[in-house]
Structures are given as C-alpha cells and as structure tokens.
C-alpha cells in the first residue's frame, strides 16, 4: 500500500497567492486520489526537522523561514507509482527548468519559493504523511 501513496504540501507562497484550488485541481486531474487533506502551519522546529537533510546548505535558514511563515496545505495522495508520478507532475525544483504542464511551471516563482512539495521516496512519504495525519484521518 505504501508504494501507492505520496505526501504533498502546497507551500506558503502558493497559499498566499490563492492557488490552493488550482493546484488541487491539477492534482486530481493528474489522477491522484486525495486520501487526507488539511490547512495547517509548520512551526520553525517542524520546518527544521522536515528539511534537516539540507541543514548544511547555504539556503537552509531561508528555507526554514519560508516554510514556517504561513499556512500550508498538507495532503496524502494515492495513485499507482505515486511518488515518482507526483514528482513528474510537480516538475523540477527550479521552475525555470520545470516542464510545460507541471505544477511548478504554472505556479512556482523561484527555486526557493516553488509552490509545492513532493516526497522523494516511499519511506519518506509514509513518515511525512504520518507526521500530519492520524490513521482515522486517512481515507
Ligand atoms: P521538496 O523537497 O520541497 O519537494 P525538491 O525535492 O524538489 O523540493 P530539494 O532538493 O529537496 O528539492 O530542496 C528542498 C527545497 O529547498 C526546495 O523545494 C526549495 O524550496 C529549497 N531549495 C532547494 N535548492 C535551493 C536553492 N539553491 N536555493 C534556495 N532554495 C532552495
Ligand atoms: Mg526534496
């Protein structure tokens, strides 16, 4: 079952700019079923932990401040080959490199403020989803 699920966040920039509906529409049109969904906000500590893998990178402080500055939409999504297919749907980290038809091509402004997160492995998808949603919130 885990291999059919991924985790996403609509990041603070996209929420601020009114793109929740547009992005959720691209997600469902892309064949993903919404298993869990909520508007929430990362604390600074949450964002530090979420992106701990980047803690030595020069942009880490900026990334943590960005991700905790306002509400996000957290969601668990289901589809065959979910992790890989969702990474394809969101496009490259830098929107300048993102393919036509991807979420980042349409909604991301910069490599730092790039509208949406997608898990990079089945293992991380399960960890990230479980951080935000109890079992009874997963449909
Ligand atoms: P995410 O993990 O958010 O889905 P990603 O997997 O495409 O993004 P990562 O390499 O994991 O990319 O980087 C995590 C996030 O850190 C990026 O989405 C972006 O917000 C930020 N980031 C990455 N590289 C840079 C950079 N060179 N300058 C500023 N911010 C960056
Ligand atoms: Mg990543």
CA of 124 to the centre of ligand 2 (A): 10
Nearest to 44 by CA among 63, 58, 57, 59: 63
pLDDT tens readout for residues 3-48: 799 999 999 999 999 999 999 999 999 999 999 999 999 999 999 9
CA of 52 to the centre of ligand 2 (A): 11
Distance of alpha carbon 29 from alpha carbon 106, whole angstroms: 15
The answer for residues whose C-beta is within 8 angstroms of residue 18's C-beta and 6 or more apart is none
pLDDT at res. 120:
97
pLDDT tens readout for residues 67-112: 999 999 999 999 999 999 999 999 999 999 999 999 999 999 999 9
Residue list, ligand 1 pocket, CB within 6 Å:
54, 59, 63, 93, 111-112, 114, 117-118, 120
Residue 54 known to be catalytic: no
pLDDT at res. 52:
94
- Domains of the chain, CATH where assigned: 5-43+72-137 (3.30.70.141)
pTM of the model: 0.97
């Amino acid at each position: 079952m885990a291999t059919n699920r991924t985790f996403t966040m609509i990041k603070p920039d996209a929420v601020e700019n009114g793109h929740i509906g547009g992005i959720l529409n691209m997600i469902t049109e892309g064949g993903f079923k919404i298993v869990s969904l909520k508007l929430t906000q990362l604390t600074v500590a949450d964002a530090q932990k979420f992106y701990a893998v980047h803690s030595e990178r020069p942009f880490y402080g900026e990334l943590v401040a960005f991700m905790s500055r306002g509400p996000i939409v957290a969601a668990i999504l289901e589809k065959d080959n979910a992790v890989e297919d969702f990474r394809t749907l969101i496009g490259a980290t830098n929107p300048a490199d993102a393919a036509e038809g991807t979420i980042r091509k349409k909604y991301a402004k910069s490599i730092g403020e790039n509208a949406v997160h997608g898990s990079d492995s089945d293992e991380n998808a399960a960890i990230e989803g479980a951080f935000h949603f109890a079992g009874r919130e997963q449909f």
